[in-house]
Amino acid sequence: MFQDRRIGLWLLAPATLFVVVGFLVPVIILLSGAFRTDGGWSLGNYLDFFGSSLNREVFWRTFRLGLTVTLVSAILGYGVAMAVVDKGPKTKGRLIAMLVLPLMISPVARTYAWLVILGRTGFINVGLENLGIIERPLRILFTETAVFIGLIQLFFPLMVLPLISALENMPRDVVPAARVLGANWLTVFWKVILPLTKEGLVVGGTLVFVGSLTAYVTPAILGGSKVLMLETLLYQRVSVANDYASAAVIGVILIAMSVLTNILLKKLASVRKA
């Protein structure tokens, strides 16, 4: 019944055409700018980009934040996921809905809440001053810590949901079996739980790492121009200096890092399986 390939191609045509014209062609033209200087094709833009110490700093900061956010979410994620799968079906459903909720709320609203908490006249500073612990307000906003906190809140759900579903699919009795055989908790986690749930960890890790690399709203509001990440740097280069070459270079870097992460983490999961 589904042999007529022409029908298949006709059904695919509108979506393909739309994505090619309305997305692929403009993006490729833009990104090709990363490999062009006045004289023709070259890698000069990359040398220019990484020649600036500010740009290098932003690159490493983006990488560092991506990595720490991913690691911390993974550690907290396992703890939370294990506590969630222990619950009865009804509680579990409610808990999962609560974990999903932040994903549905506007990132601007989500990040703005942190301004209220971390700002000079915010919750933390006012509280600590009233308790007499500090005399002048702490500078938390516009630091890497503020961006880190914002990113964790933003991306934690993307880590914990795949971990929950991986733990659900793990055979129930392997953990008690390992315990009975004398393994301590750390060994159980390292030798039993981790290998059996690594697909979930890979999915969550990819989403969180790539999401952190390409985050815009969180560094824009909580980091400002003091704590630039690659996307906020891109916006600044374009809006302040019409610097499209740097924009294209940043674009290529971000896409390359996302694709590499995908490949690398998938490899890692399948090697450990063998």
Partner 1 sequence: MRISGNILLAAVLLFLIGPFVIICIAGLSAGETLSFPPQGLSLRWVARVFQVESFRNAFALSMTLAIGATLAALVLGIPAAYALERYRPPGAEVIRNIVTAPIVVPGIIVGLALLRHLVIPTGIGVTVALFIGHTALLVPYAVRVVSASLVNLRPDIEEAAVMLGASRLGAFMKVVLPNIRSGIMAAFIIGFITSFNQVPVSLFLSGPGVTTLPIDMMFYMEFNYDPSVAALSGLLALMSLAVVMVAEKVLGLSRYV
Q: Is residue 137 within the footprint of partner 1 (CB under 8 A)?
A: no
Among 35, 44, 68, 117, which residue interacts with partner 1 (rule: CB under 8 A)?
117
Contact flags string 229-248 toward partner 1, x per CB under 8 A: --x--xx--x-----x--x-
Total number of residues that touch partner 1 (CB under 8 A): 83
* Region binding partner 1 by CB under 8 A among candidate stretches 62-70, 189-197, 249-257, 265-273: 249-257
Q: Which of 22, 51, 176, 195 binds partner 1 (CB under 8 A)?
A: 22
Three-point CA angle 52, 55, 56, nearest 5°? 85
* Contact between 99 and partner 1 per CB under 8 A: yes
Instruction: State yes or no: residue 29 binds partner 1 (CB under 8 A).
Output: yes
101 binds partner 1 (CB under 8 A): yes
146-165 positions binding partner 1, by CB under 8 A: 152-153, 156-157, 161, 164-165
Residue 121 near partner 1 by CB under 8 A: yes
Backbone angles phi, psi at 21, to 5 degrees: -75, -45
What does the alpha-carbon distance between residue 206 and residue 253 come to, in Å, rounded to a whole number? 16
CB atoms within 10 A of CB 216: 14
Site string for partner 1, 35-74 (x = CB under 8 A): ----------------------------------------
Q: Are 155 and 186 in contact (CB under 8 A)?
A: no
- Per CB under 8 A, does 176 bind partner 1? no
| Choice from 39, 88, 104, 171 touching partner 1 (CB under 8 A) | 104
221 binds partner 1 (CB under 8 A): yes
- Tell me whether residue 225 or residue 272 sits nearer to partner 1 (CB atom): 225
As a whole number of angstroms, the distance between CA 136 and CA 147 comes to 22
Backbone angles phi, psi at 269, to 5 degrees: -65, -40
Query: Is 27 near partner 1 (CB under 8 A)?
Result: yes
Closest CA to 142 of 216, 213, 225: 225
Q: Does 24 bind partner 1 (CB under 8 A)?
A: yes
